[in-house]
Amino acid sequence: MTSTNSTELPTTRQRPQVHHLDGRPTATEAQRAVALTWVRRGIPVVPCGRTDKAAMAAGFGKNATAEQLARFADPEWVARAWSTKYARAHVGLLTGRVTPAAPAELGRGLVVIDLDMPKAGADLPTGRWAGCAGGTDVLELLMREAGADWPDTYTVLTPSGGMHLYYRQPEDGPLIGCATGAGGDLEHPRPPHIGPMVDVRGIGGYVIAAGSHSAAQGRPYARESPPDLLPQPLPAWLRELLRPAAAPAPAPRPAVRILPTGDRAERYATAALNGEVEGVTTAPEGERNRRLFAAARRLAELAPTAPAVLDQAAVHDDLAAAARAAGIGEQEALRTIRSGWTAGQRGAMGGAA
């Protein structure tokens, strides 16, 4: 392992203190050395099972308090844990977390892109992801779509043939969380989901550290990147995929028409217009287009009684603004308004040809 006064992150090329007669470290010594090195470098650790990789201690989730997290960053607790109850355990690195003594280059903690291999017997993805035989292929496809280069950073090869790419959490805005695969929409994953066979480990998650030895596969997690390459900032294109886009500002509500000096027909028409605009603006999802069509039809039927109020162009503008506020697309709204208005004009003329 790296010496305690080095600023480098741990590498599997260096060996912990050994006690075997043949010079090899015991599993307990090796895992403990990995855990302590990462804590000294600013990343809290959690003991994990050597076969299923499940965390063996609780209290590090997304909403964990500073008090709950303190032990995972305490070298004394870590040394004792990997010497007794959790001896030989995998070393899980808490992503999106840093210890109070973390160096500035670790920023707000880690976000790790986990590029998996397909599970045994699983079908390979189709559609947008056709031809992708693993998470690495998925990331390369996304990279080409973004016109970017392969994002070099601290990299670990996993015992199953996958790859972990370590990055620093963005310096501002919310921390990136955890995601598994493409989520609910395979063709267009929603952040922080990226795509099939790609997992994301951020705030509340963990990954197994380089140097941990897998009992299931009989191989270690091995650092692949050069010893001096630290976790890099997230490339802009990858950050955009991982972080949800800001919600668009709600469209302004249409202004209410007021004609205090109008005659009775105009006052009635004004009230009808305001009521229909409000009804379209607040229509629930699934009812919006139907409500918009009905509003346009009713106002067209009333238009001959108060043409100064229910001018076609003005009514169309008011209904289009209400449709935007309700979340209906511009072109779809205009088609629906025109169709409803035409139907209302036929009704106003008594069905005349």
Q: In 3D, which of 273, 254, 256 has the Cα closest to residue 265? A: 273
Dmax (CA) for the chain in angstroms is 105
User: Residues with Cβ < 8 Å from 141, sequence gap 6 or more?
Assistant: 129, 132, 195
What is the C-alpha separation between 334 and 272, in angstroms, rounded?
20
Per-residue pLDDT in tens (0 to 9) along the chain, 353 residues? 333 333 344 443 333 444 444 455 687 888 999 999 999 999 999 999 988 899 999 999 888 888 999 999 999 999 999 999 999 899 999 999 999 888 888 889 999 999 999 888 888 888 999 999 999 999 999 999 999 998 899 999 999 899 999 999 999 889 999 999 988 778 888 889 999 999 999 999 999 999 887 666 678 899 999 988 999 999 999 999 998 765 555 556 666 566 555 688 888 888 888 889 999 988 887 788 899 999 999 999 988 988 888 889 888 889 988 888 888 888 888 989 999 999 888 876 554 44
Q: Tokens standing for 212?
A: 């941990």
Domain borders along the chain are 27-242, 264-342
46, 78 Cβ separation under 8 angstroms: no
Q: Tokens standing for 48?
A: 């994990």
Residue 63 amino acid letter: N
What is the C-alpha separation between 111 and 80, in angstroms, rounded?
27
Give CA separation, 141 vs 87, 180, 224, in Å.
41, 18, 22
State the pLDDT at residue 162.
94
End-to-end C-alpha distance for the chain, whole angstroms: 89
Q: Tokens standing for 330?
A: 């511009």
Helix (H, G, I), strand (E, B) or coil at 321: helix
State the pLDDT at residue 213.
73
What is the C-alpha separation between 206 and 209, in angstroms, rounded?
9
